[in-house]
Amino acid sequence: METCKTPAELRSHVKWLRKQGLSIAFVPTMGYLHAGHMELVHRAAQVADRVIVSIFVNPTQFGDPRDLETYPRDVVHDLAVLKAADVEAVFLPAAEDIYPEGSETIVETMRLATILHGEVREGHFRGVATVVAKLFNIVQPEYALFGEKDYQQLQVIRQMVRDLHIPLEIIGCPTVREPDGLALSSRNVRLSPEDRTAALVLNRSLCHAEALVARGATVEQIVAEVTAMIAAEPRATLRAVDVTEAVTLRPVSGKPNGPIAIMISAEFGGVLLIDQREATP
Instruction: Inform me whether the pLDDT recorded for 209 exceeds 90.
Output: yes
Confidence of residue 63 (pLDDT cuts 50, 70, 90): confident
What is the mean pLDDT of the segment spanning 66-80? 94
The response to whether 176 counts as a known ligand-binding position is yes
- With both helix axes pointing from N to C terminus, report the angle between 219-231 and 200-214 in degrees, rounded to the nearest 10: 160
42 is catalytic: no
The response to whether 181 counts as a known ligand-binding position is no
Exactly one of 13, 37, 117, 124 is catalytic; name it: 37
Confidence at residue 278, expressed as pLDDT on a 0 to 100 scale: 96
Q: Which domains does the chain have, with CATH numbers?
A: 2-173 (3.40.50.620), 186-279 (3.30.1300.10)
Task: Tell me the percentage of the chain whose pLDDT exceeds 90.
Answer: 95
Amino acid at 185: S
Contacts of 240-246 with C-beta under 8 Å, sequence gap 24+, read: 240/116, 240/117, 240/119, 240/120, 240/264, 240/265, 242/116, 242/117, 243/209, 243/219, 244/116, 246/278
Instruction: Inform me whether the pLDDT recorded for 122 exceeds 90.
Output: no
Confidence at residue 234, expressed as pLDDT on a 0 to 100 scale: 98
pLDDT 10s digits, 155-196: 999 999 999 999 999 999 999 999 999 999 999 999 999 999
The response to whether 30 counts as a known ligand-binding position is yes
What is the mean pLDDT of the segment spanning 54-67? 92
